[in-house]
């Protein structure tokens, strides 16, 4: 079992929303959290909240689209045991492929997939030196199935992150590192609450039940601690129990 108490845990995209909730939860479990984000003000607020609850945390400004920033982040972590590749987003911001410029949809791929891949690669050797560790990738149900989606680049990146995770079970034997993935549906962040407040009754009735932040952080902590799981994917939908996909299942 990967022990959280006293372990260094990096959380990307930790300045707000689900990333902040994950950072707070890991700190509450005793981890020394390194919170990373491009939003310095939000990152400092995350540190303030963790400190007020008696936890330990540092902040590093890092843009996961920039390889040098990712390299500096992993180097700053020191004896790394836990990495949460949570940074992502942009699926709601128009225009999308094919109307978006290649640089714009390419940046979405970098943020939602390539940054997580690079962080994972860079974390393997530091984790091996500390006796192993756990990596959890945070994807999205946008990456599941074959239905149309408003942002093809976001859906493709999240699908890639899920498949990337599922190919890495062998890293447990090679490096002592387990890589798993949580795939949440609509998460009840502050932005989601604002969206809900602005919906008509019919829109609200048609919307999926939001997933509570506690459900996300509970599932993530279980993946960090469960030594039996590697290369596995857990789907989270509001009002439903977590669903661990079989190794040959992706829907």
pLDDT of residue 210: 82
Cut 0.75: pTM above it: yes
pLDDT, residue 93, reads: 76
Whether 39 shows a pLDDT value over 90: the answer reads yes
Is residue 149 part of the annotated active site? The answer reads no
pLDDT of residue 1: 66
Q: Would you kindly state where each structural domain of the chain is located, as residue ranges?
A: 8-241
Q: Of 149, 154, 164, 175, which is the active-site residue?
A: 154
Q: In what order do the strands lie in the sheet with 233-236?
A: 56-61, 32-37, 8-12, 80-85, 133-138, 177-184, 233-236, 243-244
Please tell me the predicted confidence (pLDDT) of residue 193.
Answer: 63
The tally of CA atoms less than 13 A away on the side-chain side of residue 208 is 15
Q: What is the pLDDT of residues 120-140, one digit of tens each?
A: 999 999 999 999 999 999 999
**pLDDT at residue 200, rounded to an integer:** 80
pLDDT at 251 over 60: no
Q: For residue 49, how many C-alpha atoms fall within 13 Å in the half-sphere facing its CB? A: 21
DSSP character at residue 241: -
Mean pLDDT rounded to a whole number for the chain: 93
The stretch 85-94 carries a mean pLDDT of: 85
Higher pLDDT, 46 or 192: 46
Local structure of 170: helix, strand or coil? coil
In this predicted structure, the answer to whether residue 97 has a pLDDT above a threshold of 90 is yes
Strand, helix or coil for residue 195: helix
Average pLDDT estimate for 208-234: 94
**Which CATH number is associated with domain 8-241?**
3.40.50.720
CA distance 55 to 13: 18
Residue 91 confidence (pLDDT): 67
Model pLDDT for residues 172-195, shown as the tens digit of each residue: 999 999 999 999 997 867 675 677
φ, ψ for residue 184, nearest 5 deg? -80, 150
Question: Does the CA dihedral 166-235-71-103 come out positive or negative?
Answer: positive
């Amino acid at each position: 079992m990967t022990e959280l108490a006293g372990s260094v845990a990096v959380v990307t995209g930790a300045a707000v929303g689900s990333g902040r909730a994950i950072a707070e939860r890991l700190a509450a479990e005793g981890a020394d959290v390194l919170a990373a984000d491009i939003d310095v003000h939000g990152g400092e607020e995350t540190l303030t909240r963790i400190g007020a609850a008696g936890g330990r945390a540092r902040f590093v400004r890092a843009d996961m689209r920039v390889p040098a920033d990712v390299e500096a982040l992993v180097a700053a972590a020191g004896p790394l045991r836990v990495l949460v590749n949570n940074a992502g987003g942009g699926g709601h911001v128009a225009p999308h492929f094919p109307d978006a410029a290649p640089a714009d949809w390419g940046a979405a791929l970098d943020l939602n997939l390539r940054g997580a891949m690079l962080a994972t690669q860079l974390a393997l050797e530091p984790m091996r030196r500390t006796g192993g560790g756990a990596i959890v990738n945070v994807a999205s149900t946008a990456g599941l199935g074959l239905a149309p989606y408003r942002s093809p680049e976001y859906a493709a990146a999240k699908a890639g992150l899920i498949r990337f995770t599922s190919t890495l079970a062998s890293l447990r034997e090679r490096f002592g590192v387990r890589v798993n993935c949580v795939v949440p549906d609509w998460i009840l962040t502050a932005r989601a609450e604002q969206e809900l407040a602005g919906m008509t009754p019919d829109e609200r009735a048609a919307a999926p039940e939001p997933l509570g932040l506690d459900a996300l952080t509970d599932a993530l902590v279980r993946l960090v601690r469960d030594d039996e799981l590697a290369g596995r994917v857990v789907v989270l939908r509001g009002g439903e129990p977590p669903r661990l996909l079989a190794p040959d299942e992706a829907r």
